[in-house]
Chains A and B, each alone.
Chain A
Amino acid sequence: VKKSIFTFCCFILSFSGAQAIPVKKTNFAELFAHASSVVGAQVIEVDPSAKTARVYGYPADGLSVFEARLRIGAVYKGNPPASGISVCFLRVPADPGVFIDLKVGSAYLLFLQNAEPVSLLSDVQNGAFQVDPLALRETAAFPSNRIEALFQRSSTSPNIEVVVKALQALAFVGTSNSLPVVEGLVSSTNDEVRLAAATAAVRLGDWKRIEDIVTFWEGRSYGNDGYIGFPDHNLASTSWATVGEVSAKEASPVVSRMLHQAKSTRIKRTLIQTLLSINDPQGVSAVAPFIEDADSRVAYEAYVTVMKLRGRPCVTPELFERDKAAIKDEIRKGCPQVK
Chain B
Amino acid sequence: MRSAFLSLLIITLSFFNLSSYAVAQYSDASTLFREDARAARLNSLNEQFDISLSDEDRALISLRCTTAQSALTKIRDRAKVVREGRTSTYANVVSGLTILKAIFERDQLDSSMLDLLIVSYQQKTTTFNGELEGFIVALNDAIEINCTQNPNEFMLFLEGTRLQQEEVIQASRAIDVLSATVLPSTFVSLRQRYDAWELQNGR
Q: Do A and B bind each other?
A: no
